Amino acid sequence: MGVLRSHRRQVSGHPKVNRLLLKMATLAILVMPVACNIVTPVAYILEGPPSNDAQFTLPDRKTVVFVDDRKNVLSRTQLRTAIGDKVAGDLMQQELVSETITTRDAVAVARRDENMDNPLPISEIGEKVGAEVVIYVRVTSFMIAEPGGNPIPNATAMVKVIDVTNRARLFPEDKENPGISVASQMKEVSQDLYQSTTGRRQIEDKLADELGNRIAKVFYKHEKVELGKGMGVRK
């Protein structure tokens, strides 16, 4: 300790050394905020991004996604198929199910065999198209712009899973629960797209795709924020 104190006295008496120490101290102060900002990205790389776990593990059986729109929330029937096939496609890409039946077939059965006063049971719709499991999606809202507000497309749906073979609900287990609520919201869309029917349909197609993606994520672990993906969409 004595040696260190003696060394400081010698250094402090040298003008050039004092100026050098002052520069080094200033540089250290400037560098510190940058170093602190590096901590978070480094931790992100080492630990990985934060993620959401799957809410339910689907059985690997022949599956159909039936998109219900009895209240005519969607402007086009094709959007029902777009949402359902996006869910099915994502689930197959994640290798959660090996075989799916197109949503179009389930929608066709429902439109042919049911009416508002006499809706078909979900399990019966699945049975008629040869499915063993039905992912039931009821669209509750689908807006390409908020009334009187900014053009921010958003959609919501209720989701549940039905075992066709045993005519029982698999998810959510609580039968009093109408289903898991799923929401998707895009960022503000260019006003130019609202000026034509073609442009508005492009917005609808994109929103349907995003809603389908969010529904599929109920069934597999995924990042809360996906870097470099989902441009124009709020996660």
* Per-residue 3-state assignment (H helix, E strand, C coil) for the chain: CHHHHHHHHHHHCCHHHHHHHHHHHHHHHHHHHHHHHHHHHHHHHHHCCCEECCCCCCCCCCEEEEEECCCCCCCCHHHHHHHHHHHHHHHHHCCCCCCEECHHHHHHHHHHHCECCECCCHHHHHHHCCCCEEEEEEEEEEECCCCCCCCCCEEEEEEEEEECCCCEEEECCCCCCCCEEEEEEECCCCHHHHHCHHHHHHHHHHHHHHHHHHHHHHHCCEECCCCCCCCCEEC
pLDDT at 230: 39
pLDDT at 110: 92
pLDDT tens sequence for the chain (235 residues) = 433 333 344 444 555 545 555 555 555 444 444 444 555 555 555 555 678 888 999 999 999 999 999 889 999 999 999 999 999 999 999 999 999 999 999 999 999 988 777 889 999 999 999 999 999 999 999 999 866 666 789 999 999 999 999 999 999 988 888 899 999 998 888 888 888 999 999 999 999 999 999 999 999 998 875 433 433 443 3
pTM of the model: 0.74
pLDDT at 46: 57
pLDDT at 147: 62
Residue-wise pLDDT tens digits, 75-133: 999 999 999 999 999 999 999 999 999 999 999 999 998 877 788 999 999 999 999 99
pLDDT at 222: 83
pLDDT at 22: 55
pLDDT at 194: 87
CATH of domain 52-234: 3.40.50
**Structural domain boundaries in the chain:** 2-48, 52-234
